[in-house]
Chain A
């Protein structure tokens, strides 16, 4: 057993209000620079919708992630993008490279015209201009262009996941009086089997052993752009000005000083949880060489119980400090992912072992059946899952590689918690009914209470259990992470500038 520690994340989609505060917090710290304007290391998508970049989930277009060969006897993983030799053939022009058109062209406005225009009969206007060549542009796309347009037959209809759904399910998604949508904030998943790192010809992308943060060494990146294509989540971005790729760094300078990453810290809905997961690195390969429907369970198996003395001993053996083990024991992520099995990874079928997990959104499900507010909580809720307004299949395509049972199990637990708390606080549900709901979801009253607490009432320290770092001992000097703000690249001692 080779124990490693990973700072992992849970996003509770039921609580996301789609305010984009996370995106702005990230943008202001890391990507308000030339060449990075179009990057949104954190973005919030409306689902169903095309996402950012447009249709990123369509891997037939972008060739991201890993593929399993179709030999069950001798399973092999390979990058969907290309093999090692093909990489050299495609070095000069990457055929699967998304271009700026797939994202959007960043713009600003000619504010100067408001002040400097000559006197005339018309109001001066500030025309939008491209932030690349300064020419006037018509703004036709943006990072959240289809915001709140779930059900739209212009935008949401192009969601790549809809291709896998039945006509009847599609009908439900687009019937005008039953429209729904939910928000999905996305950052880098800091995968265990990162496709971006595997595709990098220069070997510039690496995982920090201490906390599992995936980083691009800016000194080693040569701008071959393979990571941009290979990441199935499209979370590495090419900086068109510096000629280097960049990605979410999980605010490691903040983590190292005990703070949660900026997007976590600023989250208005408090949907985000951060904590350590201990996992067995020896199992990575085998956990990925299984059929789609087993992927989530195998990933859960890899995640180790930090309370188990055997795991603790093995973790110490593998060089994990006591403080990190303690942090793992207090990790809210461990509870959501492994203990309660509420949170699920985003598109596990890409086989990168993403370490960001989502609690599926319940609210649209709740509103699905029952006539105008006469829904009986304890009886109607469970039956509503089968004909829910969000087809369970849409969620299972997103979060469980198509395995409906996992999503249903997660939903059943969340519903049971609601029934249980309603019996306690409102009283229109009897205790017997609540107990029956708990039994059906296979959980105890204590567990329901714990889920309720961590979902609704957690304080900062419960949501973010940042492991102790000893960076001052690991590196010679400590730099002010704000020092290089608004310059190109980050963490550089010399002022980073475009090469000759």
Chain B
């Protein structure tokens, strides 16, 4: 029963809260959508923390998503020992980058008084969870090696079963505790998105690649140009 709660109900609830909540917040309070950058108040630690974190966590997240949505591609990529080694190495390097980055950001918020001043309780929760999540991810990577392959036979079919509304928690219930914590924290972070600054992920400014440089806007009339 607990397993159904944790690995079937909770993921659905978390996803629902994350998606509906973020959309609701966007529609009702767009003003609150910001990265809340604190680079203006402290620049040196911010550079190392934020850069390492984002450059580590973004590829890691995409690789995880690739495991869910393109398992065949991932399987082909991991099918020879060389590529598997490469995947294992890349994952560990990126994970360590993210962990160090999150660590620096935590240290920065704890020690720089100006930054502590503008840190909200939710910031502490989010940052601690992210740090823990990356930490557990690295534990999996180092203790239970070759995650690039076992991932495809445990987490992928589980997510697949959730996505097709035929939940099959048995794929993950037999896994060690560290795995379960990692999975559940992932969904918890998703659920916390609309209640935290994590919404800035949802407004990644991709349109900057093609938008016009100068925006000229009429209040109501359509411009003749």
Interface centre among A201, A238, A317 (most CB of B within 10 A): A201
Q: Which residues of B contact A180 (CB under 8 A)?
A: none
A306 to B27, CA, bound (A): 44
Chain B contacts with A in 28-45, Cβ cutoff 8 A: 29-43
Chain A nearest CB, measured from B218 CB (Å):
4
Chain B nearest CB, measured from A219 CB (Å):
4
* Contact across chains for B200 and A222 when beta carbons are under 8 A apart: yes
Of the listed stretches A15-23, A146-154, A159-167, A191-199, chain B binds A191-199
Residue count of chain A within 8 Å CB distance of chain B? 64
Which of B120, B205, B213, B223 interacts with A202 by CB under 8 Å? B205
Chain A contacts with B in 458-500, Cβ cutoff 8 A: 471, 474-475, 489, 492, 494, 496-500
A126 within 8 A of B: no
| Chain A 160-197 per-residue mask, 1 if CB under 8 angstroms from chain B, else 0 | 00000000000000000000000000000000011001
| Chain A 216-228 per-residue mask, 1 if CB under 8 angstroms from chain B, else 0 | 0011111111001
A240 within 8 A of B: yes
A145 within 8 A of B: no
A134 to B116, CA, bound (A): 12
Which of A98, A221, A223, A500 interacts with B195 by CB under 8 Å? A500
A207 within 8 A of B: yes
| Chain B 181-200 per-residue mask, 1 if CB under 8 angstroms from chain A, else 0 | 00000000000000111011
A257 within 8 A of B: no
A222 to B206, CA, bound (A): 13
Which of B30, B114, B197, B208 interacts with A220 by CB under 8 Å? B30
* Contact across chains for A207 and B214 when beta carbons are under 8 A apart: yes
Chain A nearest CB, measured from B152 CB (Å):
30
A61 within 8 A of B: no
| Chain A 57-89 per-residue mask, 1 if CB under 8 angstroms from chain B, else 0 | 000000000000000000000000000110110
Closest 3 CB pairs of A and B: A201-B205, A499-B32, A198-B213
Chain B contacts with A in 102-155, Cβ cutoff 8 A: 113-114, 116-118, 120, 122
* Contact across chains for B205 and A94 when beta carbons are under 8 A apart: no
Classify the secondary structure of A's interface with B: loop
Q: Which residues of A contact B213 (CB under 8 A)?
A: 197-198
Known: A92-B55, A494-B29. 6 other contacts (CB 8 A): A91-B205, A207-B217, A209-B216, A222-B203, A240-B41, A318-B225
Chain A contacts with B in 390-441, Cβ cutoff 8 A: none
Residue count of chain B within 8 Å CB distance of chain A? 52
A208 within 8 A of B: yes
* Contact across chains for B32 and A206 when beta carbons are under 8 A apart: no
A74 to B136, CA, bound (A): 54
* Contact across chains for A203 and B211 when beta carbons are under 8 A apart: yes
- Would A97 and B120 be within 8 Å (CB), given that A92-B50, A198-B214, A222-B33 are in contact? no
Chain B nearest CB, measured from A85 CB (Å):
8
- Would A499 and B216 be within 8 Å (CB), given that A133-B113, A238-B40 are in contact? no
Chain A nearest CB, measured from B22 CB (Å):
12
A327 within 8 A of B: no
Interface centre among B35, B205, B217 (most CB of A within 10 A): B205
Of the listed stretches A40-48, A241-249, A259-267, A442-450, chain B binds A241-249
B64 within 8 A of A: no
Chain B contacts with A in 60-104, Cβ cutoff 8 A: none
Chain A contacts with B in 86-127, Cβ cutoff 8 A: 87-88, 91-95, 97-100
Chain A nearest CB, measured from B6 CB (Å):
26
A243 to B40, CA, bound (A): 10
- Would A206 and B223 be within 8 Å (CB), given that A93-B46, A240-B38 are in contact? no
Which of A2, A98, A205, A500 interacts with B215 by CB under 8 Å? A205
* Contact across chains for A202 and B203 when beta carbons are under 8 A apart: yes
Q: Which residues of B contact A95 (CB under 8 A)?
A: 47
Identify the closest chain A residue to B32 (Cβ).
Answer: A499
A197 to B213, CA, bound (A): 7
A73 to B116, CA, bound (A): 53
* Contact across chains for B36 and A223 when beta carbons are under 8 A apart: yes
* Contact across chains for A243 and B35 when beta carbons are under 8 A apart: yes
Q: Which residues of B contact A205 (CB under 8 A)?
A: 215
A240 to B42, CA, bound (A): 11
- Would A499 and B50 be within 8 Å (CB), given that A132-B114, A133-B114, A197-B213 are in contact? no
* Contact across chains for B31 and A492 when beta carbons are under 8 A apart: yes
Q: Which residues of B contact A209 (CB under 8 A)?
A: 216-219, 223
* Contact across chains for B113 and A210 when beta carbons are under 8 A apart: no
* Contact across chains for A494 and B43 when beta carbons are under 8 A apart: no
- Would A84 and B208 be within 8 Å (CB), given that A208-B219, A240-B40, A499-B36 are in contact? yes
Q: Which residues of B contact A281 (CB under 8 A)?
A: 225
Q: Which residues of A contact B35 (CB under 8 A)?
A: 222-224, 243
A197 to B214, CA, bound (A): 6
Chain B nearest CB, measured from A21 CB (Å):
28
Which of A84, A240, A242 interacts with B209 by CB under 8 Å? A84
Chain A nearest CB, measured from B17 CB (Å):
14
